[in-house]
C-alpha cells in the first residue's frame, strides 16, 4: 500500500520523510521538492506524473542514491541512504536498485548477453553462474533467441527488453523507471508495460516509474502527481488503498 501522508506502516520497503531538494541558479534558489513524505510497500507499482520541471526525475534520482537531498531522509529496506558515503552508496545501488531509462544505454560493441551480464561482473558469481542468471532473465523478457545479437540488430522495443533484463539480473530490491516507454511506438510501449506488469505480479518486483503518458500510468496500482514540490494522489486501481495528500 502506498501512503503519501507520512503514516508509515511496518511493512514499508521505501520510507521518505520531509524530503527537500533545492538548486541554486545564479542568485536564485529553486525549491524542487518540499517536505515530501512517501511510503511504498514491497510489490507496489507506483507511477509519478507532473509537468516538466516538477521534480519527477529528481525524486527518482534521490530514491536511487544518484543525488542527495537538501533535507529529509530516505530509507530502503531498512538502510538509511541519505548520509551514506559515495562508496557505500555505490555498493548499495548495485545490491538494491535496477534502473530503466528512456534511452537504453546499451554498449553497442557488446551483445545482448554481454550487456545483461555487466552488473554481475561486480559480483563473486562464477562464469557458469553468471550465464545461468543472464539466460534466465533474457528468457523472462522474451529474448532468449536474441542473446548473441548486438543492439544495432535489435528493434527499439527489444533494446528496452535488454535494458530491463540488465536491471533485474542481480535481483534488485526495487526498479526505478524513468520514462521507460518514452522512445517507443504505442505497440512497443504496450509490450514493455505488459512486461513490467509481469515483473510486479509474477515476480513480486516493486516498481517506481516516472511517465508523461496517462495510458502507461493507468497500468500502475496508483498514480501520484507532483504539484508544487509535494505528492498528490491522482488515482488507484480497484482494490488498492492509499493515504491522503502530502
Distance CA(64)–CA(19), nearest Å, equals: 14
Q: Write down the pLDDT at residue 59.
A: 94
Three-state DSSP at 220 gives: coil
What global pTM score does this model have? 0.87
Mean per-residue pLDDT, 47-61: 91
- Strand ranges, E, within 78-145: 79-80, 97-101
pLDDT band at residue 25 under the 50/70/90 scheme: confident
Q: Please give the grid coordinates belonging to residue 62.
A: 534521490
Give the chain's radius of gyration (CA, Å). 18
Domain range list for the chain? 42-68+85-236
pLDDT tens figures, 217-246:
999 999 999 987 888 876 544 433 343 333
Evaluate if residue 4 carries a pLDDT over 80. Answer: no
CATH topology of domain 42-68+85-236: Rossmann fold (3.40.50)
- Helix, strand, or coil (residue 104): coil
User: What is residue 238's predicted lDDT score, i.e. its pLDDT?
Assistant: 40
CB 41 within 8 A of CB 242: no
Q: What is the pLDDT of residues 93-148, one digit of tens each?
A: 988 999 998 888 999 999 999 999 999 998 889 999 999 999 999 999 999 999 99
Taking the C-alpha atoms of residue 89 and residue 148, their distance in angstroms, rounded to an integer, is 32
141-199 pLDDT tens trace: 999 999 999 999 999 999 999 999 999 999 999 999 999 998 899 999 999 999 999 99
User: Is 230 in a helix, a strand, or coil?
Assistant: strand
Residues, the chain? 246
Mean pLDDT of the chain: 89
Phi, psi values for residue 153, rounded to 5°: -95, 5
Residues 31 and 109: their CA atoms lie apart, in Å, by 41
Q: What percent of the chain has pLDDT over 70?
A: 92
Amino acid at each position: 500500500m502506498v501512503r503519501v501522508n507520512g503514516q508509515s506502516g511496518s511493512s514499508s520497503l521505501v520510507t521518505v520523510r520531509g524530503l527537500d531538494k533545492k538548486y541554486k541558479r545564479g542568485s536564485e534558489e529553486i525549491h524542487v521538492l518540499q517536505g515530501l513524505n512517501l511510503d511504498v510497500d514491497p510489490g507496489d507499482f507506483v507511477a509519478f506524473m507532473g509537468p516538466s520541471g516538477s521534480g519527477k526525475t529528481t525524486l527518482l534520482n534521490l530514491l536511487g542514491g544518484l543525488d542527495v537531498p537538501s533535507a529529509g531522509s530516505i530509507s530502503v529496506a531498512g538502510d538509511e541512504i541519505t548520509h551514506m558515503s559515495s562508496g557505500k552508496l555505490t555498493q548499495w545501488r548495485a545490491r538494491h536498485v535496477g534502473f530503466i531509462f528512456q534511452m537504453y544505454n546499451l554498449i553497442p560493441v557488446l551483445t545482448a548477453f554481454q550487456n545483461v551480464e555487466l552488473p554481475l561482473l561486480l559480483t563473486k558469481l562464477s562464469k557458469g553462474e553468471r550465464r545461468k542468471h543472464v539466460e534466465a532473465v533474457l528468457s523472462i523478457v522474451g529474448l532468449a533467441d536474441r542473446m548473441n545479437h548486438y543492439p544495432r540488430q535489435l528493434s527499439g522495443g527489444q533494446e528496452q527488453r535488454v535494458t530491463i533484463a540488465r536491471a533485474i539480473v542481480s535481483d534488485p530490491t526495487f526498479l526505478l523507471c524513468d520514462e521507460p516507454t518514452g522512445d517507443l511506438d504505442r505497440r512497443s510501449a504496450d509490450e514493455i508495460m505488459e512486461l513490467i506488469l509481469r515483473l510486479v505480479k509474477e515476480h513480486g518486483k516493486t516498481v517506481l516509474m516516472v511517465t508523461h503518458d496517462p495510458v502507461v500510468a493507468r497500468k500502475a496500482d496508483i498514480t501520484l502527481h507532483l504539484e508544487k514540490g509535494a505528492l498528490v494522489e491522482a488515482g488507484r486501481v480497484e482494490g488498492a488503498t492509499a493515504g491522503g495528500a502530502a
